[in-house]
Amino acid sequence: MEFGNITYRKPQRSSSLQDMSDLNSSSTLFDATVASLPNASLYESQNNIDLNEKINKLSSDLLIAHQEIDNLNSENTSLKFEIEKYQKIIKTFKKITTYSSCNTTPASVNKRRQTLQIPEQNLLCTPINRIEMSECSINEIKDKEQELVNNIEKTDSSNHLPNTSCHIHLEKEDIHKEHTEVIATDTNTNTSLNTPKTQLGNTLPYYIREKNDNYKLATFKMRRKIIVIADQQGRNICKTLQKLIGDNFLVTCYWKPGAKIQEVLQTEKNEICKLTKNDYVVVLGGVNENNPYEFEFCIRSWLYSVTNTNVIFTEIPYNRNLNIGKLNYVLRFICTSFTNVSFINTNGSKPFFHQYTFTPYIPCRFLLREILRLDYKLKFELYQNIVISSKFTPLQTTSTQTDNIEMVDTCTQSDDILKDNIIEEITPRHENMTHSGKNLFRI
C-alpha cells in the first residue's frame, strides 16, 4: 500500500455538553435549578401529615362559619318581616281606637256650607243639647225624656192643645252613624242603637213649635235593619249606605280588617238570628282567602244556619293568593242554591278597578239597587197572596137552617134557569140543521 496519498485530519470540536457522570454524587447542580427539585408530596413525613390535617380542619371550620352566617341572615330577614307585620297591625288598631280631630281629614268647604244651612220650613226646632257618652247612660236619658213628657202633660191635661188640632206624639230622632260605632243596647226593647263613641248625638226627642205657638213631639217610627259584616271592604260603608237608603232602614256595620271569611261570618250571630224576612244581611269578604275549599265550606255551613232573613253577597274585588274569577264563580254558584241569598256583581274584579282605588260608593250603589229590588219582590209576593186569599174566601155562615135552605134553592133555581136558556138556544139550531139536511137529501 502506498501511504503518500493519505491525509491526516484533525478531530473537529463539537458543541455537545461534557460528561456529567462524575457529578452524580454531588448535589450542587440540583440545588441550583428549580425544575429538578424532588416532589415532596411523595415522601410521607410526619410534618406533611400534620400540615394536611390542619388544612382540613381549617377548611371545615370555614364551611361551618359560612353556614352559620347564612342562618343568621335568614333569621334576620324573617324577624324584619314579622316586625313590619306587627307594625301594620298596631297602625290599624290605632286608626280604629283613636278618634282625635288630628287624625281625621277636614271636611270640604261645600259640605260645611251645606251643614250650616238652615232648612226652609215653617217649624222651629229647639233640640236638646248633646250629652256625652261618658257622662250619662241610657237610663238617665230615659228619665229626662219622661220628665219632658210630664212637663207637657202638666201644661194641658188633654192630648189636644187649646185652639189647635195638634196632637202630642213621641219620636226618637234619627241617630247619626259612623264606620267606628259603639252599640248601646236598650234593656226594655232589646234593640241595638248605633252611636258614635264620643257622643250620643240627638238621641233625645225635641219639641216642635209651629206658627200658631203650638208645641208637639214627632211620632216614633220602627225602622227595618240592615246588618253589614265585612273585612277591610267595610270602611265607610255604614255612612254612605245610610245616606243613600234613607231613614226607612237602620244600617249597622261590623268590619274586621285583614280577617278571613270564617272570622267575618262569626260576628254578631245572635243579632242576625233575631232578624226577619223584612231585614237584610250584607256580607263583604273573600279578599284575604288562601284556601278555596275552606272558603266554600264556611259559607255553606253559615247559610244553612241563616234562613230567617235575606242575605246579600257582593263580588270579591281582588285577591292576591287565589284566582279571582274562579272564586267569584264558586260564590255565585253557592248563592243560587239558596232561595234567600242573592249575589251582586259590582264590577270590582275588572282590570280598571284597583284595590287602592276602592271607594265605598261603588258597592253601596249596587246594594241600594238590590235591596230595592228585593223589597219590591217581597211586596209583590204579599200582594199576590192577598189576591189569592180573597178569591178563595168561604161563604158567610148564617145562624138558622132556613136561610141556608133558601140560599141553596136560589142557587139551584139560577142554575136551572141558565140550563134552560142554553137548551133553548141549542134546540132551534139543531132543528134547522136537520131540516136543511133533509132538503139536501131530497134534492
The model's pLDDT over 382-411, given as tens digits with 9 standing for 90+, comes to 888 888 877 665 545 444 444 444 554 555
Q: Looking at residue 160, what DSSP letter applies?
A: S
Average the pLDDT over each of 80-89, 96-105, 271-280, 326-335 and give the range with the smallest value.
96-105
What is the predicted pLDDT for the residue at 45? 78
**Separation of alpha carbons 181 and 227, rounded Å:** 13
Does the pLDDT of residue 76 top 60, yes or no?
Answer: yes
Does the pLDDT of residue 119 top 50, yes or no?
Answer: no
Q: Which of 134-143, 208-217, 275-284, 423-432 has the highest mean pLDDT?
A: 275-284
Residues 6+ apart with CB under 8 A from 255: 179, 228, 229, 230, 231, 232, 233, 234, 235, 237, 284
Contact between 172 and 202 (Cβ < 8 Å): no
Element (H, E) at 402: helix 401-442
Does the pLDDT of residue 93 top 50, yes or no?
Answer: yes
Does the pLDDT of residue 228 top 90, yes or no?
Answer: yes
Taking phi over 0 as left and psi of -120 to 50 as alpha, with beta for the rest, 395 belongs to beta
- Amino acid at the residue 380: F
Residue ranges of the domains in the chain? Answer: 121-222, 223-391
The mean of the pLDDT values for the chain is: 68
Contact between 338 and 313 (Cβ < 8 Å): no
pLDDT digits (tens, 9 = 90+) for 253-300: 998 998 999 999 998 888 999 999 999 999 999 999 989 899 999 999
3-state secondary structure of 397: coil
What is the predicted pLDDT for the residue at 335? 93
Question: What average pLDDT does this structure show over 90-104?
Answer: 71
Task: Give residue for cell 256625652.
Answer: 132
Q: Which residue has the higher pLDDT, 31 or 135?
A: 31
Q: Which fold has domain 223-391?
A: Rossmann fold (3.40.50)
Element (H, E) at 226: strand 224-230
Does the pLDDT of residue 422 top 60, yes or no?
Answer: no
3-state secondary structure of 256: coil
Does the pLDDT of residue 135 top 50, yes or no?
Answer: no
What is the predicted pLDDT for the residue at 133? 41
How many CA atoms lie less than 13 Å away from 74 in the CB half-sphere?
6
Of 342, 325, 82, 353, which Cα lies nearest the Cα of 233? 353
Of 172, 169, 176, 167, which Cα lies nearest the Cα of 205? 172
Task: Give residue for cell 272558603.
Answer: 295
pLDDT digits (tens, 9 = 90+) for 178-222: 333 333 333 333 333 443 333 333 334 444 444 445 544 444 467
What is the predicted pLDDT for the residue at 36? 55
Does the pLDDT of residue 131 top 80, yes or no?
Answer: no
pTM: 0.42
Q: In the chain, pLDDT over 90 holds for what percent of residues?
A: 25
Does the pLDDT of residue 85 top 60, yes or no?
Answer: yes
What is the predicted pLDDT for the residue at 166? 37
Contact between 182 and 137 (Cβ < 8 Å): no
What is the predicted pLDDT for the residue at 95? 84
Question: What average pLDDT does this structure show over 87-98?
Answer: 86
Of 144, 150, 147, 116, which Cα lies nearest the Cα of 131? 144
Query: Residue 283 forms beta bridges with which residues?
Result: 229, 313
Q: What angle separates helix 324-336 from helix 292-305, to the nearest 10 degrees?
A: 20
Radius of gyration of the chain (CA): 49
